[in-house]
Amino acid sequence: MKRVGFILKVKEEMMEDYIKHHANVWPEMLEALARSGWHNYSLFMKEDGMLFGYYETPVSHQAALDDMVAEEINAKWQEFMAPYFEGLDGLPADESMIVLKEVFHLD
């Protein structure tokens, strides 16, 4: 499994709603993530809205992302969630992730 860590920035004034929506992610979206190889997916957020995400995948991040982009439900989710983020520059959040380089992993 490959481990992927990334960051995004949630608008501070929208953090509460963002958290509420992630307590009830659409079942179709959860199914699409699983089909696309996104396992052990977690999100963590600082008090200023800085979001750290982590997931594991049997394929590369790009392959897992490409599989999600091909899912119709993903386009709907990305459109729904877009107003919550800063700095997307017109791209969906999943295509705007700043992927972090893994520098250590305790096996």
Do 55 and 2 form a contact (C-beta atoms < 8 A)? no
Main-chain phi, psi angles of 16, to 5 degrees? -60, -45
Catalytic residue at 22?
Answer: yes
Q: Where are the alpha helices (DSSP H) in 2-89?
A: 15-22, 27-35, 61-69, 72-81
Out of 21, 22, 61, 105, which one is annotated catalytic? Answer: 22
Query: Residue 72 and residue 88: Cα distance in Å, rounded?
Result: 20
User: In this structure, are residues 38 and 68 in contact, taking their beta carbons and an 8 Å threshold?
Assistant: yes
Alpha carbon 39 to chain centroid, angstroms = 12
Give the catalytic positions in this structure: 22
